[in-house]
Amino acid sequence: MTSATTPRVRFAPSPTGYLHVGGARTALFNWLFARHFGGTLILRIEDTDFERSSQEMVEGILTGMRWLGLNWDEGPFYQSQRLDLYRATAEKLLASGHAYHCFCTKAELEQRRAEAAAAGRPPMYDRRCRSIERSVATGRKAAGEACAVRFAVPDGGTTSFEDAVFGRVEFANAEIEDFVLLRSDGIPTYHLSVVADDLDMRLTHIIRGADHISNTPKQVLQYRALGAELPVFAHVPLILGPDKTRLSKRHGATSVIAYKDMGIVPEAFRNFLALLGWTPGSEHKDKEIFSSDDLIQLFSLDGISKSNAVFNNDKLAWYNTEYIRAYDAKNLLPLIEEEWKVFNFTPERGPEEILSTIELLKPRARNLKDFATTFRAYFSDSFEFEPAAVAKFLKDDATRSLLVELGKRYEQAPEFTEYWAEQILRSFADESGVKAGVLINGARVALTGQAVAPSLFAVMGALGKARVVNRLSGAGKISA
């Protein structure tokens, strides 16, 4: 592939908030697209709204991308450091007559908009400054009068573009107002800076949220005015909450880091996100689990859906269990250690034991948090008994004394393996005239504090003789 045909794409978040779910998916699609074609992904920070942008948010966005494993090839570039480019672009547009100075003040504009609304007219800019003579305008500007630069939208006709997802999209020019390119303080608006940057960065494909469809004709108009070729636009449908309104804080977590904090594994989140609004096609319709490499290989703009998608937490949770189960214990350990840190928990087991215990537990973990909460008893002697579990399997005094007695049997046993642990328990149950299940269920609670756990004898194997004996001997004192 020659460099001329190698795609160059970008992710261009505005640092007015953390990396949210929708932004993350846009980033993911751009990344997938770039990696699929061996192209270049550029990270551009759109921080021209100084009021709302902050370095903290930039860091948050970078953290989110790293967590998802999305690396970029160029940047991050900051629009706040590229103001000269935008001013020069505005000058070009001014010089070619595609833009003009506007001396209307914000207050005047607002008042006229209110009047228009009251009269039932569309609240568009009335273009009054468009008729000001060039020389007059430059004179007024030179005299120190504040002015913005507006784009002169053609009077009639339509502006259209071919979208890789939506097909041909067309707008009547009469519907597009003479939008502001450069604010009176010399700071560009989004409309100008995107075009100037997308052009300057030689981007070939613009993959972004569908909320930008209506903005696109304003950009197309500038490309034409500048005599530039259009990139390929690909608008991605939005992600909605369960009530089908745009995903927002009302729906709970919207920042990707919040999902990390909730104990979600990044591969699960990425897989889930990739299939929200995109499908690898019918040949793969029976498959749901896709590795990063699979996704890169399969990704294509053709598979992007046109309709908005609802974010489904249940499905995410399912992916999480699938991925946790598939993890190697040694790769899972660092993630679990992070959770332990969050909970201020220190395991009291050796490294080998920890790994084999993770191996035992991971098939039934739903979430990384489980390792620091419900699975505590496997890693430390300080753990809580779940009242419901005690009430269900240990409420009987007789059962508890039998467990204490069972502990003694184990203590005296010459061998303590999963096999012998089971033999001993079952023969003890026979001898005592109780069902093995009673002792098994009771022992599980005595050993783990939980009613839910892996096979009891596997648990015993993981805990080791000393702990098993010790915890069973304390069974008499457990109360609900």
Partner RNA sequence: GGCGCCAUGGUGUAACUGGUUAACACGCCGCCCUCUCAAGGCGGAGAGUUCGGGUUCGAUCCCCGAUGGCGCUACCA
In Å, how far are 75, 215, 368, 386 from 324, measured between CA atoms?
Answer: 33, 41, 8, 24
Q: Which is nearer to RNA, 56 or 288 (CB)?
A: 288
Tell whether the torsion through CA atoms of 27, 32, 37 and 38 is positive or negative. Answer: positive
Reply yes or no: is the peptide bond before residue 414 cis, omega within 30 of 0.
no
The alpha carbon torsion through 240, 242, 244, 248 (nearest 10 deg) reads -50
> Which one of 84, 155, 286, 293 is in contact with RNA (CB under 7 A)?
286
For residue 92, indicate whether it is catalytic: no
How many residues sit close enough to RNA to count as binding (CB under 7 A)?
91
Angle between helices 418-432 and 397-412 in degrees, nearest 10:
130
Enumerate residues 6+ apart whose C-beta is below 8 A from 327. Answer: 265, 362
CB of 339 to RNA, least distance (A): 19
By CB under 7 A, the residues from 409 to 428 that bind RNA are none
Q: Is 398 helix (H, G, I), strand (E, B) or coil?
A: helix
Sign (positive/negative) of CA torsion 418, 421, 424, 429?
Answer: negative
Which CB sits closer to RNA, 249 or 341? 249
Based on CB atoms, which residue is closest to RNA, 214 or 346? 214
Find the shortest distance in angstroms from Cβ 3 to RNA: 28
Shortest Å, Cβ 306 to RNA: 4
Should residue 172 be labelled a site residue for RNA when binding is judged by CB under 7 A? Answer: yes
268 closest CA partner among 343, 326, 341: 326
Residues 200-229 interacting with RNA (rule: CB under 7 A): 210-215
Residues 28-57 contacting RNA, CB under 7 A:
46, 48-49, 52
C-beta of residue 440 within 8 angstroms of C-beta of residue 456: yes
Sole window of 59-67, 91-99, 290-298, 440-448 interacting with RNA (rule: CB under 7 A): 440-448
Residues 225-254 that bind RNA (CB under 7 A): 237-238, 240, 242, 244-246
Torsion (CA) 403, 406, 407, 412 in degrees, nearest 10: 170
Among 196, 199, 225, 276, binds RNA (CB under 7 A): 276
153 binds RNA (CB under 7 A): no
Q: Where in 328-387 is the site for RNA (CB under 7 A)?
A: 363-364, 366
Shortest distance in whole angstroms from residue 114 CB to RNA: 11
- b/e per residue 269-304 (b: at least 16 CB within 10 A): bbbbbbbbbbbbeeeeeeeeebebeebbebbbbebb
Residues 86-105 that bind RNA (CB under 7 A): 102-105
Distance CA 227, CA 207 (A): 22
Query: Contacts with RNA in 107-136 (CB under 7 A)?
Result: 109, 113, 120, 122-125
Q: Which residues contact 246 (CB under 8 A, 6 or more apart)?
A: 238, 240
Alpha helices, H only, 362-416: 387-393, 397-412
302 versus 348: smaller Cβ distance to RNA: 302
**436: contact with RNA by CB under 7 A:** yes
Contact between 259 and RNA per CB under 7 A = no
Q: Report the residue from 78, 166, 345, 385 that binds RNA according to the rule CB under 7 A.
A: 166
Stretch that binds RNA, among 58-66, 313-321, 328-336, 469-477 (CB under 7 A): 313-321
* Exposure b/e, 193-218, CB count within 10 A at least 16 = b: bbbbbbbebebbbbbbebeebeebbb
Question: Which of 59, 74, 162, 288 forms a contact with RNA (CB under 7 A)?
Answer: 288
Question: CB-wise, 282 or 344, nearer to RNA?
Answer: 282
Which residue, 283 or 293, is less far from RNA as judged by CB? Answer: 283
Q: Does 401 bind RNA (CB under 7 A)?
A: no
Under the binding rule (CB under 7 A), the answer on residue 167 touching RNA is yes
Are the beta carbons of 248 and 254 closer than 8 angstroms? yes
Q: How far is the CB of 22 from RNA (least distance, A)?
A: 10
Do residues 410 and 476 touch, judged by C-beta distance below 8 A?
Answer: no
Cβ proximity to RNA: between 79 and 292 the closer is: 79
Residue in 249, 287, 306, 435 annotated catalytic = 249
Q: What per-residue string of b and e applies to 357-368 under the rule 16 or more CB within 10 Å gives b?
A: bbebbbeebebb
Active-site residue list: 249
